[in-house]
Amino acid sequence: MVIKQLSSTAMQELRYLLEQMNTCALALEEIGKKEQEAIHLLDSDRVLQLSERRVNAHQQLGELEKECHGLLRRQNIPADMTLEVVIDMYAGTQAADFQALRRKLYERIMVVDQSSQENRLRLLAAYNVTSTILQKLGLTQNSTTYSRSGAK
């Protein structure tokens, strides 16, 4: 059911934003893969460099999302309407193409999220192993943890 189609300029801008968001998500996927390698090698310098790249890519993705919301707001589309519904209602004959772009972006974001969670766990494990080794070698103090007996 098409209520009214967005202007061709708005459709072009929406396509551009979705493509740019997809490019950011693709960059985040690549960063995640490189982070995994760096964590495996315990290359802290590389992990830090990649973390900075990740932050920048996330910021860029956030800015693109804001632009997308702004575009929809300028088109008088309710803020609570999902992009899926907006496309179905306002993209007219281009709806299938835009839905494919949206799904591709969503799937890529899900892959990035999963990769980020896995890398977080790998970093935590690498930190724990490294800390334990340093403690056993006597190069750092044993970490203090919460103890019931000390909480009087």
In the chain, what percentage of residues exceed pLDDT 90? 76
| 94-127 pLDDT, tens digit each | 999 999 999 999 999 999 999 999 999 999 998 8
pLDDT given for residue 1 in this prediction = 43
| 135-152 pLDDT, tens digit each | 888 888 776 555 455 544
Residue 35 token pair: 């982070």
Q: CA-to-CA distance for 53 and 137, rounded, in angstroms?
A: 34
Domain 8-140 classified CATH 3.30.420.10?
A: no
Q: CA-to-CA distance for 113 and 120, rounded, in angstroms?
A: 11
Domain boundaries, given as residue ranges, for the chain: 8-140
Q: Decide: residue 98, CB within 10 A, 0-12 exposed, 13-18 middle, 19+ buried.
A: buried
Taking phi first (over 0 means left), then psi (-120 to 50 degrees means alpha), and beta for anything else, what does residue 96 get? alpha
Is the pTM for the entire model greater than 0.85?
no
Average pLDDT over the chain, rounded to an integer = 90
| 15-39 pLDDT, tens digit each | 999 999 999 999 999 999 999 999 9
